[in-house]
Amino acid sequence: MQRRTALIASVAWVGGAPAWPVAAQSARSLAELARRGGVLLIRHASTEAGVGDPAGFTLGQCHTQRNLSDAGRAEAKALGEWFQRQGLQPRAVLSSQWCRCQDTARIAFGQFEDWPALNSTFAGQGQHDRQLQQLRERLARLPAGSLEVWVTHQVIMTGLTSAYPATAEGFLVDRQGRLLARGMMAPDA
């Protein structure tokens, strides 16, 4: 089975307890649910080998970071094509300030806005609790029926939903931060 078409089932956790099972969605079902509104959190596309960033990492200097691989750039392009085919037009595309997230957003959507609340908190970076609070506050203010895309990191997506995303996987969350659906936005869907 190809990675792009693989879908993963999960259980959403709210308040430290399992809330309900969230079955993996087909790409078409994910699009149908996204049309109702919410935030589609997307983990950045595939990167060069490694975990975290190299010593000497500097925000804003891509040559010091772990960046998208050729496969990741292809995934980001396919993601943008999927959005176009589905007719999904997010009211905003927000990205972590890490180059791999910015590049995913740029390739997929053309335009994006940096939002530090989406930055990685891996290995003690950032302010995890504060950033999650900022995400929850923006979610609560999201106009009903509108869709936003947030390109971020595994640690942020897991912190908000208690579920672990694959690279380039999308999590649709509602205004309360509940995980509604998850899946890969397959190029042929």
Convert the pLDDT of each residue in 10-31 to its tens digit.
333 333 333 344 555 677 788 9
Identify the three-state secondary structure at position 150.
strand
Which runs of E-coded beta strand occur in the chain?
A: 10-14, 17-22, 38-43, 92-95, 113-114, 147-152, 169-173, 179-184
Torsional sign, CA 40, 44, 45, 50: negative
40, amino acid identity: L
CA atoms of 19 and 34, how far apart (whole Å):
20
**Domains of the chain by range and CATH?**
3-49+58-184 (3.40.50.1240)
Convert the pLDDT of each residue in 47-74 to its tens digit.
998 877 888 889 999 999 999 999 999 9
pTM, full prediction: 0.86
User: Is the distance from CB of 164 to CB of 154 less than 8 angstroms?
Assistant: yes
